[in-house]
Amino acid sequence: MLESGLGQNKGKTIILPEIFDLDVSDKLKDDLLEHFEEGDVKIDASSVQRVATNSLLMLISAAKTAQKINVGFTILNPSEPMRGAINRLGLVENFASFTKE
């Protein structure tokens, strides 16, 4: 996972790797808790080629946490494989409010 600052916006962009599995989810969860203290978080999902179901559920949980603490949380440019997994699992409505193509 790569990170880049958003300058004066006080926040981070996290770039997901090609394989977004449980190992990545565990690290991302810890990183998100830290980054939420700094401000809005954006996740670039354009490189994801394979995603675990639990990883998608973790993103939904992260979005709910961000909403509770009034921090922005956005998934940017989800890849075709990621969008396909979201559709197959019936999670489109869950992702609709925090995903931007």
Structure tokens given for 58: 């973790």
Q: Are 55 and 85 in contact (CB under 8 A)?
A: no
101, pLDDT greater than 90: no
Number of domains observed in the structure of the chain: 1
User: Where residue 15 falls among pLDDT bands split at 50, 70, 90?
Assistant: very high
The boundaries of the domain holding residue 86 are 2-100
CATH number at residue 34: 3.30.750.24
User: In this structure, what DSSP letter does residue 69 have?
Assistant: T
Residue 33 Cα distances to 30, 72, 75, 76, angstroms: 5, 13, 16, 19
pTM, two decimals, is 0.88
Q: Roughly what angle, to the nearest 10 degrees, separates helices 53-68 and 22-36?
A: 10
Angle at 24 between CA 41 and CA 49, to 5 degrees: 90
- pLDDT above 90: percentage of residues in the chain: 81
5, pLDDT greater than 60: no
